[in-house]
Chains A and B, each alone.
Chain A
Amino acid sequence: MDLHLKIWRQNGPDSPGRFEDYDAVGIKDDMSFLEMLDAVNEGLIEAGREPIVFDSDCREGICGTCGVMINGQAHGPQKGTATCQLHMRKFHDGEHITIEPFRAKSFPILRDLMVDRSPLDAIIEAGGFISANTGSAPDANIIPVPKTAADAAMDAAACIGCGACVAACPNSAGQLFTSAKIAHLNLLPQGQAERWSRTENMVETMEEFFGSCTNYGECQEACPKEISIDFIAYMNRDYIKAKTKNRKLIGQRK
């Protein structure tokens, strides 16, 4: 099939950007979306033009490196699918496709379709862990974890940190990402000791970078792992609880 692409080009974070038109010809159904872009880049290099910069790595939908806006949708039209796993059979001959980087104030564009998502790491740094220094762990089976809790924690832990939730949100909110990590750790017995400090620290770090959640639900629609916004409700509940629990804990300090 032949496609008409409108792609965002931008030299660096401080340069102005613009859309440029490209034709992608002879695209096959079995190609992934990124393989289609590879083919366009091969053509550009042949013509002596600089290739389009975009991020990708595993191309199996698990590393979270890739991600672009395709016709205004983060990761494109197929539900539960990262850009690298989207295949061209979902498009038709002659289609016009607009490709842009993930857009959010906290994700500055580095070049073309590549953005800087380091605020997501900052949220994890703030409390997205269970303190367990190497060597100090008890036997793995000493604390039974109810299967339902383990399964729910795994549902949340499936987040790949791609940032599509932020890009899809009209407010550029980081709630789905943050709540997925909070729920993963707060649902497990091992995560209880730091539950309330974790929740407060992560939520407040999130708010330094991202907008507020107003329950549009676009995030779960865009999420390649189909993580549910129920986790946001869980996070909100834990955040309110944390406010009182953490005060009480302060009161206990000598």
Chain B
Amino acid sequence: MPNIAPDPLLNPNAPTGPIDKQWNQHKFDMKLVNPGNKRKFEIIVVGTGLAGASAAASMAQLGYKVKVFTFHDSPRRAHSIAAQGGINAAKNYPNDGDSIHRLFYDTVKGGDFRAREANVYRLAQVSVDIIDQCVAQGVPFAREYGGLLDNRSFGGAQVSRTFYARGQTGQQLLLGAYQALEQQVSLGNVVMHTKSEMLDVVVKDGKACGIVTRDLVSGEISSHSAHAVVLATGGYSNVFYLSTNAMNCNASAVWRAHKKGALFANPCFTQIHPTCIPSSDEFQSKLTLMSESLRNDGRIWVPKNPDETRSPDQIPDEDRDYFLERKYPAFGNLVPRDVASRNAKTMVDKGYGVGPLKNSVYLDFADSITRLSAPVIGERYGNLFDMYERITDENPYKVPMRIYPAVHYTMGGLWVDYNLMTTVPGLYAIGEANFADQGANRLGASALMQGLADGYFILPYTIGDYLSGLLGTQPVPVNDPEFATAQTALSSEVDKWLSVGGTKSVDHYHRELGKIMWAYCGMARDRNGLEKALAEIPALRQEFETNVRVLGSADNVNQSLEKVQRVADFFELGELMCRDALMREESCGGHFRVEHQTPEGEADRDDENFAFVGAWQWQGRDTPQELHREPLEFEFVHLTQRSYK
């Protein structure tokens, strides 16, 4: 077993005892706030995706006074809405051998043993409640003819435990949470602030006491205080410029919390999604994901001849290499995302890529269409096929799709304990914004599960334990000097960007940063590349700071100004990701170090030295962050090399 000393800064507060009893025991041990006292507490929630909306609605239902902030024009626009495939739950409705323990086991193993066991078990436990909750809210999940819920299997799982609503599961789950939230708005329990971007956390006497925001329409900078602050602001894939995230997804909220003392854990754990539409040119603004459920019925292949010129439907089977089925007969096309992605990259790097830029592999539905008929395939994936055709002008019923991996999800994030609290008391991080229960790699259909688990069923309990200690106290008033200092700093930051007067757009620098990140901190990483990135990023940042052009003013809608602040934070975060990737001298899950692979080219994990969460502490702008380690112990799932053969 690993021998890493616990760090006093990183107390996981995880319960002990039999794993299936831990959460119940912990709930009993936590202090409660009585119903009459709940209304005396104010809570700020930033972000309205699955985690934020469900947390805000649930806490408001309990009686807390909740203030919600989103930079969108409506809470329903958060990027959870774009999740397609489904949500996992250990319901075992299909009677195929699923259980809470199996979901727990699959998630720990899928995450390549870099997640905290207690958290993952709890996630699997509450997964079943999530489905009940969503159905009661009217989420129109797919159903069988008898009226019962339908399930499908999803990448990396050998049981069918995924619930779905056509290809729009994220949309329907988010609308359920959003509607619950709007109900609380109408009841006066939630005050909603739209078009408000959080740009600082305010900490007084060591506790989070509020935030500073900028109104994206009027430009007004204002302070908001509360007894606790919850960040539900999503992931940071946009550090790569091209990713499947929405245009406005950014890391500023978590990054600014990091600079106020919250440790940032496992930043290099990024997930590359195997089935995205390949990029076509420099103008491309984002990448579009095609749900991984497509791998259930599609077969991935490349021509055996790298110089193949025939159209794909003219290539006979013996001239095709179904490389996933060949290398992993047990899981075939359903291997976990990191394995599928890396194999696609290997084939493309070896020159077997297809398409005009030879930058993709085929995902072919011909066999399934023959077996099941086109209408059945259409019922399962019709909206995805339509979307593919709209973007590429090719009909996937007739010619195979072309797919390539793209950055999709970030497992890293703010370090949190078992109660989802960061290292700053009173500051919580939930959903993708925290370093998560996903370890080094996330299984398909697990992000929606985690976001809703945190928001509906975990945070509303654990936050009471903290608040109960604040009974009788008022939130720090917004005229406190701490708020004034933060507001002044933000105003001068805004003025600084508007007065650079450079020559190149924000997007230009974002794109250049993305190229460095993708080249050196993308699907495969090595020491040389990472060191190169650590030299190139600060140089580019310096140019960015002196040569970026932000036109317009601060007192009106100014999208360049919004972007420049986000990109500035991406520069610092990108650097930390590279430093983390360099520190982690092993390959695990989404983090693949070329130097650390088995003779077959699989990830070579080093449990002796790296079975820990790497959490970084901000030391000021010109000093590299300091690493703290939370050792991970595996009591219930034994450390083994993942094998999907």
Contacts and interface: CB of A to CB of B under 8 A. Distances in A.
B43 to A, nearest CB: 15
A58 B393 CA distance: 20
Interface string A1-20: 00000000001100000000
B508 to A, nearest CB: 8
Contact of A48 (B54, B192, B551): B551
B609 interface: no
Interface string B127-171: 001011111111011111111110000000000000001101001
A247 to B, nearest CB: 23
Contact of B138 (A51, A57, A81, A130): A130
B76 interface: yes
B149 A140 contact: yes
A72 to B, nearest CB: 22
- Best-surrounded residue of B73, B149, B387, B457 (most CB of chain A within 10 A): B73
Contacts of A190: 135-138
Contact of A132 (B133, B166, B560): B133
A144 B148 contact: yes
B157 to A, nearest CB: 19
What's the interface size class on B, roughly? 35 or more
B186 A125 contact: yes
Contacts of A46: 503, 505
Interface string B275-302: 0000011011110110000000000000
B132 A125 contact: no
B185 interface: yes
A131 interface: yes
A188 B82 contact: no
B136 A45 contact: no
Interface in A151-179: 151, 153-154, 157-158, 160-161
A117 B74 contact: yes
B247 interface: yes
Contacts of A131: 183
B135 A42 contact: no
Given A30-B280, A35-B284, A157-B175, A63 B559 contact: no
Contacts of A65: 72-73, 77
A81 B390 contact: yes
Nearest to A53: B557
Interface residues of A, number: 81
B551 to A, nearest CB: 5
Interface string B480-514: 00000000000000000000000101011000000
B247 A56 contact: yes
Interface in A93-137: 110-112, 114, 116-118, 120-121, 124-126, 128-137
B586 interface: no
Nearest to A48: B551
Given A85-B391, A130-B137, A136-B136, A59 B285 contact: yes
Contact of B61 (A111, A124, A133): A133
B246 A59 contact: yes
A116 to B, nearest CB: 7
Contact of B393 (A63, A89, A111): A89
Given A61-B387, A87-B391, A134 B457 contact: yes
B132 A139 contact: yes
A132 B137 contact: yes
B16 interface: no
B47 interface: no
Contacts of B129: 135, 137
Contacts of A132: 133, 136-137, 180
A223 B143 CA distance: 26
A191 interface: yes
A242 interface: no
A31 interface: yes
A55 interface: yes
A248 interface: no
Interface string B587-619: 000000000000000000000000000000000
Contacts of B142: 150
B442 interface: no
- Best-surrounded residue of A49, A50, A116 (most CB of chain B within 10 A): A50
Nearest to A138: B132
Interface in A32-57: 32, 34-35, 38-39, 41-42, 45-46, 48-51, 53, 55-57
B556 A111 contact: yes
Nearest to A190: B138
A141 B150 CA distance: 10
B507 A121 contact: no
A62 interface: yes
A175 to B, nearest CB: 19
A116 B82 contact: no
B34 interface: no
Interface in A198-241: none
A147 B140 CA distance: 10
B378 to A, nearest CB: 14
A124 B182 contact: yes
B75 to A, nearest CB: 8
Interface in B54-83: 54, 57-58, 61, 72-77, 79, 81-82
B122 interface: no
B629 interface: no
B390 A134 contact: no
Given A45-B505, A140-B131, A50 B147 contact: no
Interface of B: 54, 57-58, 61, 72-77, 79, 81-82, 91, 93, 129, 131-138, 140-149, 165-166, 168, 171-172, 175, 178-180, 182-183, 185-186, 192, 194, 217, 246-248, 280-281, 283-286, 288-289, 386-387, 390-391, 393, 456-457, 460, 503, 505, 507-508, 549, 551-552, 556-557, 559-560
User: Which 5 pairs from chain A and chain B are nearest by CB?
Assistant: A144-B147, A137-B136, A129-B179, A132-B136, A137-B132
Given A42-B507, A58-B77, A129-B179, 11 more contacts: A45-B551, A62-B171, A87-B391, A89-B393, A128-B182, A134-B61, A137-B132, A144-B147, A145-B143, A160-B171, A190-B137
17 contacts: A35-B283, A38-B285, A50-B551, A57-B246, A62-B168, A118-B194, A125-B183, A130-B136, A131-B183, A139-B132, A140-B136, A145-B147, A150-B140, A150-B141, A153-B138, A157-B175, A160-B171
